[in-house]
Amino acid sequence: MLVAAAVYGTYWYQVKNKVDELAEQLAPFADVQYGTIYAHPNGTVGVNALSITPLAMHAPISISQVRIRAGTPFDLLLGSDEPPEELFVTLAGVEQSMESAFFHELQKQMDLVREANPLYISPAALGCGNIRQFDVNAVRMMGYRDLEMDVELHYRGDDVARKITFEAMVDVRNMGETRMKMAFSADPRQLKNPLMATGSARLDAFEVDYRDTGYNQRLTSLCAREAEMQPATYRRHHHELFARWVEVNGIELPDAWMAAYADLQQNGARMSLALTPIGGFGSAEMMVMSDDPRYLIEKLNPSVTINDTALDLNGVQWNELLVQVAQAGSGTRVARERQPVPVVDEVVAEEVVEAVVDADASAVTVTEPVETAAPVTKITRVAKPRAKSFQETPVAKLGGHVGAHVRIFTYFGNDVEGRLVAVDADGIRVEQRLAQGMAEYPLEYARIQQVEVYR
């Protein structure tokens, strides 16, 4: 008993030393704190109440439990340079605040990208009121205050069969669950040399499965609220706008694909993608086929299912489709087409007009009493002053709107919104406020497709 206790004590102490060494190595980049050490006799080790705070962030990443199993306790005590036959890693209760510096910086980068095209609307956000894309701010508006997830990783290497398998599961609470599996033909011992392993490994199979566990419902609720619609009405409206975006951009999608896109918006939607390359797939095929997307996709032999219904991929012109999608523009124009026309309120005014008696009536012989004509009520409609709004304006008349707020839509998709500061024979200049200050955009007339002036 004493021997067993001594061995376990050494084992526990070895685990603690490994954890402390790792925390010390990370010290220049992050503050690492943990509660207790976990060391199970079956070889599973870990820590509880782990907190990692990167130096550039104020909010820590907290993990309730970290568990790692890579063999028996003796493997840890004795050490080995060889990759383990099997490795399990579990991160339970990973939590990160949406108000952390990481997400604020991520939103800042998104804002900087949007400044290059401030009128850009993501096709996925069509019909979602004033929301132009689903960024960090939009996720917060869906009610996500913290991202909570569980992560499971599994590796297995077979020296005899020369096979390597990776599996991963990420379950983001009230959002979605993703499972992935990859199988390679490769010698596990080559993992000690990553360059050698990646050069000789061949992909045998790849699978990824996604299941919605709350994101779709929250997105629909947010967009329905922003668009002042019922959830079912918003979904139909979004699908109509998305179909219109596909049409105007000349993207040739089969009807079944459009139906599958609508199915993916449903609560609890599921999607699976599988690649089963014929004869395997390695770096050599990637180099040879990189210029031929059609052959590359056919070699990967993909299959897709949406809500357990297989998607037909036969006959798809992959080269043309990829070019069409790459050249597709923003959803801005489609959103403008479907904007409701404002109704002008009218006030009814009554104008009493006395009947005019013919001046020659006295010269006419009247055999019956002449009745005095009753006043006639004339109805006129007086329109209320119209509220200012963005109105389409001919380019030739922009000279009369210098200083006004304008939206400029170009043929190349780089739309600009700002103050019109100059109009001359060559083009116009629009002043735009950016995070770094003010900037002016010169635009030649040949590039302008449409102009809207706030007036």
Q: What is the pLDDT of residues 374-384, one digit of tens each?
A: 555 455 555 55
Structure tokens at 12: 């526990």
Q: Which residue has the higher pLDDT, 199 or 150?
A: 150
**pLDDT for the residue 269:** 96
**pLDDT for the residue 354:** 40
Which backbone phi and psi does 171 adopt, to 5 degrees? Answer: -115, 105
Statement: residue 399 has pLDDT above 90: no
Q: Which residue has the higher pLDDT, 55 or 239?
A: 239
In this prediction, residues 249-267 reach a mean pLDDT of: 92
Residue 402 half-sphere exposure toward CB, CA atoms < 13 A: 9
**pLDDT for the residue 49:** 93
Q: Delimit the domains of the chain by residue range.
A: 1-118, 127-141+175-340, 390-454
Question: Using one digit for the tens of pLDDT, what is the confidence trace for 421-442?
Answer: 889 888 888 887 765 567 787 8
Q: Please count the other Cβ atoms lying within 10 Å of the Cβ belonging to residue 92.
A: 15
Statement: residue 199 has pLDDT above 50: yes
**pLDDT for the residue 193:** 67
Question: Using one digit for the tens of pLDDT, what is the confidence trace for 128-145?
Answer: 998 989 999 999 999 999
**pLDDT for the residue 384:** 56
For residue 430, the cross-strand partners are 420, 441
What is the percentage of the chain residues whose pLDDT exceeds 90?
33
CA pair distance 284, 288, nearest whole angstrom:
6
Statement: residue 352 has pLDDT above 60: no
**pLDDT for the residue 210:** 97
CA angle 382, 386, 389 (to 5 degrees): 160
Written in H, E and C, the secondary structure of the chain is: CHHHHHHHHHHHHHHHHHHHHHHHHHCCCEEEECCEEEECCCCEEEEEEEEEEECCCCCCEEEEEEEEECCCHHHHHHCCCCCCCEEEEEEEEEEEECCCHHHHHHHHHHHHHHHCCCCCCCHHHCCCCCCCCCCHHHHHHCCCCEEEEEEEEEEEEECCCCEEEEEEEEEECCCEEEEEEEEEECCHHHHHCHHHHHHHCEEEEEEEEEEECCHHHHHHHHHHHHHCCCHHHHHHHHHHHHHHHHHHCCCCCCHHHHHHHHHHCCCCCEEEEEECCCCCECHHHHHHHCCCHHHHHHHHCEEEEECCEEECCCCCCHHHHHHHHHHCCCCHHHHHHCCCCCCCCEEEEEEEECCCCCHHHHHCCCCCCCCCCCCEEEEEEEECCCCCCEEECCHHHHHHHCCCEEEEEECCCCCEEEEEEEECCCEEEEEEEECCEEEEEEEEHHHEEEEEEEC
**Predicted confidence band of residue 368 (pLDDT cuts 50, 70, 90):** very low
In this prediction, residues 45-69 reach a mean pLDDT of: 87
Query: What kind of fold does domain 390-454 have according to CATH?
Result: SH3 type barrels. (2.30.30)
Question: Using one digit for the tens of pLDDT, what is the confidence trace for 269-295?
Answer: 999 999 999 888 887 767 666 667 777
Question: Using one digit for the tens of pLDDT, what is the confidence trace for 292-350?
Answer: 777 788 888 999 999 999 999 888 888 888 888 888 877 877 777 655 444 344 444 44
**pLDDT for the residue 357:** 38
**pLDDT for the residue 303:** 94
Least confident of 104-113, 245-254, 436-445: 436-445
CA pair distance 123, 332, nearest whole angstrom:
8
Q: Which amino acid is at 245?
A: W
Question: Using one digit for the tens of pLDDT, what is the confidence trace for 9-26?
Answer: 777 777 788 888 888 888
**Predicted confidence band of residue 360 (pLDDT cuts 50, 70, 90):** very low
* Mean pLDDT (the chain, rounded): 81
Instruction: Give yes or no for a contact between 330 and 414, defined as CB atoms under 8 angstroms apart.
Output: no
